[in-house]
Amino acid sequence: MQPLRALQAMRRLIADKEDTQQVFEIMRALSGKTIPRGYRRLLSTPKGGYIAYQREEFADRLSDQAWLNSFGPGTVGAAYRDFIAPRGLSAEGLADESRKVADNDVDAAHPYAWFGRRVRDVHDVWHVLTGYGTDGMGEVCVVAFSYAQSRSLGFAFIAAAGAREFEKLKLGHPYYRAAWQAYRNGRKAAWLAGEDYHALFAEDLEAARRRLNIAPPTLYLSIPAEAAIRP
């Protein structure tokens, strides 16, 4: 791990909240054995061996508009489609940001690199499943949830630093508690990295949340929208 590199990237991210590259710098610096551990866990699950054998590049699937349009109202797929469209988000755009990191091996033809891409590509899907928005506090919460799911210190570092920046505003809203709730929700939920996303996208969103044991983000939702934007 490279704590100094992570700290420098965090300072740049605080200075420019839109500099998504710094998120990947932090994750690169603090990833440790997270990706190998996650890949081995995937192989140990009933569906994981088949998913790993197929080794689909999920960013390609998420960029297939015809595929996204095939999902009916109320499904996870439709919710994802409706989530990214007005925000101008795309899996490929996120992938491009990850490629800007120096000394990265994100596109390597290796099972660990493939698993890392898979985790990266489902970031916005996790937003949909958890109910966290793309405002500043929503991002803090979804990375706190992701830390619980992955145990990657990069996620923990970003979540803690982000919540601290919001608390410095002294607006009286439960920023720290919302991030902590997101972490606890992630601990209680099923392991999302092992999901068959093809089948998941066809599920009813609320039914999928119940099956995956994803609790509502009540504390995050209690924060007024204008107080949840980037500080």
What pLDDT, on a 0 to 100 scale, did the predictor assign at position 102?
Answer: 77
What pLDDT, on a 0 to 100 scale, did the predictor assign at position 6?
Answer: 77
Question: Tens digit of pLDDT per residue, the chain (231 long)?
Answer: 577 777 788 889 888 877 888 888 898 888 889 999 999 999 999 899 999 999 999 999 999 999 999 999 999 999 999 999 999 999 999 988 889 887 778 899 999 999 999 999 999 999 999 999 999 999 999 999 999 999 999 999 999 999 999 999 999 999 999 999 999 999 999 999 999 999 999 999 999 999 999 999 999 999 999 999 976
What pLDDT, on a 0 to 100 scale, did the predictor assign at position 23?
Answer: 85
HEC readout, the chain: CCHHHHHHHHHHHHHCCCCCHHHHHHHHHHCCCHHHHHHHHHHHCCCHHHHHHHCCCHHHHHCCHHHHHCCCCCEHHHHHHHHHCCCCCCHHHHHHHHCCCCCCCCCCCCHHHHHHHHHHHCHHHHHHHHCCCCCHHHHHHHHHHHHHHHCCHHHHHHHHHHHHHHHCCCCCCCHHHHHHHHHHHHHHCCCHHHCCHHHHHCCEHHHHHHHCCCCCCHHHHCCCHHHCCCC
What pLDDT, on a 0 to 100 scale, did the predictor assign at position 231?
Answer: 66
Which residues form the domain of 170? 3-227
Tens of pLDDT, residue by residue over 130-176, are: 999 999 999 999 999 999 999 999 999 999 999 999 999 999 999 99
* Structural domains of the chain, count: 1
What pLDDT, on a 0 to 100 scale, did the predictor assign at position 163?
Answer: 96
The whole model's pTM is what?
0.93
What pLDDT, on a 0 to 100 scale, did the predictor assign at position 230?
Answer: 75
